[in-house]
Chains A and B, each alone.
Chain A
Amino acid sequence: MIGHLTLILTCQLIGEVITGLLALPVPGPVLGMVVMFVGLLVRGGVPDGLGQAADGLLKAMSLLFVPAGTGVMLHFQLLGQALLPLGAALVVSTLATIAVTALLMLWLGKEQADG
């Protein structure tokens, strides 16, 4: 368990160092995901314990957004002032993005599976 957590944190650290040194436009943890992924490809499989540690973390992923979400309280005033433009933009854009992406993926993905 400790070993696998160490491995996950090490990947994150490598990701942070690379994005920092090269000033890349991706956050360290996302690059850490790439590092971990390449490692798994090279190794050719997920070690049992690592899979369990990862599944444990990912099951709790919703919880991890609560502290950042609570930060909304810092901006009640600003949000209240611009509720209409920001709220409408957020709602329309999020729904449009989901619809466009899903339909395109469904359509193109099917074409490939058939061909």
Chain B
Amino acid sequence: MDNLQDTWVYLSASPLFHLTLTLIAFQAANWLFEKAGRNPLLNPVLGAVLLVVAVLVATGTDYATYFQGAQFVHFLLGPATVALAIPLYRQWYRVRQSALAIGVSLLTGSLTAAITAVLVAWLLGGTTEMLASIAPKSVTAPVAMAISEELGGLPSLTAVLVIVTGIFGAMFGPPLLNLMGVRDWRARGLAIGTASHGIGTARALQVNETAGAFSGLAMGLNALATALMLPILWGIFF
């Protein structure tokens, strides 16, 4: 029994345990996702997060301790974002063909994301701080947090809202697009990437390379468009 205790004390403080936990949780969630025929509603990010949170709560582990192990996985988000240049390059002829359509759709989508979020939260009695925190929710996390801070929101709340938006968009975006009869991979990818950044892009890449490339492009352009437009728009109303 002492050995078990000692081993747990040792392991719970080493990065190995929480890194492995992250991978196992994801494998399990992904297995379920594949078994269900890649049903977007069984989003593997959501499943893995729920499993990890359950283990952390059950073992009384705080997030900072968990992150010491998980940071090795987290770090790879940067290189993966750079790697999005490759599908974008392979699909570049399609992007160039519809550059104007992409520009107009993206700017409109970007404004829709910020304005509808602020409007609905305001109608339901959200505080100004909440409105500022949710306004950039469709933008990739590091940019969204910076915008939120500039508007007077809570960057850490924004980070959570960004992740939840990403998961929600990856889950309900594909069924919504099916319902609307949108079969064009360019339109599907652009819409998912504009609304739900990298998590939506990860999902789009699994389904179709054109959708993945357009989604990655939309993620980058939306970050830029929102960072430039939102503070100006915000200044007019608040």
Q: With a CB–CB cut-off of 8 A, which chain B residues contact A101?
A: 105-106, 108-109, 112, 187, 190-191, 194-195, 218
Q: How large is the interface on A (under 10, 10 to 19, 20 to 34, 35 or more residues)?
A: 35 or more
Q: Does B35 count as interface, using CB distance less than 8 angstroms? A: no
Q: Output the residue of A29, A50, A62, A97 with the most chain B CB within 10 A.
A: A97
Task: Give the contacts of A9-32 with B (CB-CB under 8 A).
Answer: 9, 11-12, 15, 25-30, 32
Q: With a CB–CB cut-off of 8 A, which chain B residues contact A112?
A: 97-98, 100-101
Q: How large is the interface on B (under 10, 10 to 19, 20 to 34, 35 or more residues)?
A: 35 or more
Q: Hey, what's the 0/1 contact readout for A50-74 against B, CB within 8 Å counting as 1?
A: 1101110111111111111111111
B79 touches A8 (CB 8 A): yes
Q: Does B132 count as interface, using CB distance less than 8 angstroms? A: no
A98 touches B169 (CB 8 A): yes
A94 touches B74 (CB 8 A): no
A96 touches B116 (CB 8 A): yes
Q: Does A91 count as interface, using CB distance less than 8 angstroms? A: yes
A95 touches B172 (CB 8 A): yes
The one of B48, B141, B212, B220 that contacts A63, using a Cβ cutoff of 8 Å: B48
Q: Hey, what's the 0/1 contact readout for B101-139 against A, CB within 8 Å counting as 1?
A: 110111011001100111111101110001000100110
Q: Does B152 count as interface, using CB distance less than 8 angstroms? A: no
A25 touches B112 (CB 8 A): no
A70 touches B168 (CB 8 A): no
CB distance from B167 to the nearest CB of A (A): 7
B residues neighboring A (CB under 8 Å): 22-23, 25-26, 30, 44-46, 48-49, 52-53, 56-57, 63, 66-67, 70-71, 73-74, 76-90, 92, 97-98, 100-102, 104-106, 108-109, 112-113, 116-122, 124-126, 130, 134, 137-138, 140-143, 146-147, 156-157, 159-161, 163-169, 172-173, 176-177, 180, 182, 184, 186-188, 190-192, 194-196, 198-199, 201-203, 205-206, 212, 216, 218-220, 223-224, 227-228
